[in-house]
């Protein structure tokens, strides 16, 4: 069952997932870009799947192709909930 979609909950899950891709947790912030974090398109697909599983918010490729930062992704997920 999806959990409550709050900015804090989404941000925590996004940070946790990105850290699992390799970047140190202290480098992952709302302002951090995926490029800075070395998060590639395959990582973004996996991240979108995690978000859908966790929050019930489906993100398609077109939804995330223009997203550049962690904060933009968090705001998109919250707005779609």
CATH at 42:
1.10.1200.10
- Check 38, 40, 43, 53 and give the catalytic one: 40
The answer as to whether 2 is a domain residue is no
Q: pLDDT tens across 2-24, in order?
A: 568 899 999 999 999 999 999 99
Collapse the DSSP code of 12 into the 3-class scheme (helix H, G, I; strand E, B; otherwise coil) and give the result: helix
Spell out the residues 6+ positions from residue 31 whose beta carbon is closer than 8 angstroms to its own.
Answer: 69, 70, 71
Task: State the pLDDT at residue 1.
Answer: 52
Task: State the pLDDT at residue 55.
Answer: 94
Q: Is 40 a catalytic residue?
A: yes
The answer as to whether 36 is a domain residue is yes
Task: State the pLDDT at residue 40.
Answer: 92
The answer as to whether 1 is a domain residue is no
Compute the distance between CA of residue 43 and CA of residue 74 in angstroms, rounded to an integer. 16
Task: State the pLDDT at residue 7.
Answer: 94
The residue range of the domain holding 50 is 7-80
The answer as to whether 44 is a domain residue is yes
Number of domains in the chain: 1
Task: State the pLDDT at residue 65.
Answer: 82
Mean pLDDT of 61-81: 90
């Amino acid at each position: 069952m999806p959990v409550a979609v709050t900015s804090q909950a989404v941000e925590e899950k996004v940070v946790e997932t990105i850290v699992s891709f390799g970047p140190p947790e202290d480098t992952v912030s709302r302002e951090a870009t995926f490029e800075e974090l070395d998060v590639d398109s395959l990582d973004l697909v996996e991240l979108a799947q995690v978000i859908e599983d966790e929050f019930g918010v489906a993100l398609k490729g077109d939804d995330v192709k223009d997203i550049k930062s962690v904060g933009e992704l968090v705001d998109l997920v919250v707005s779609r909930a």
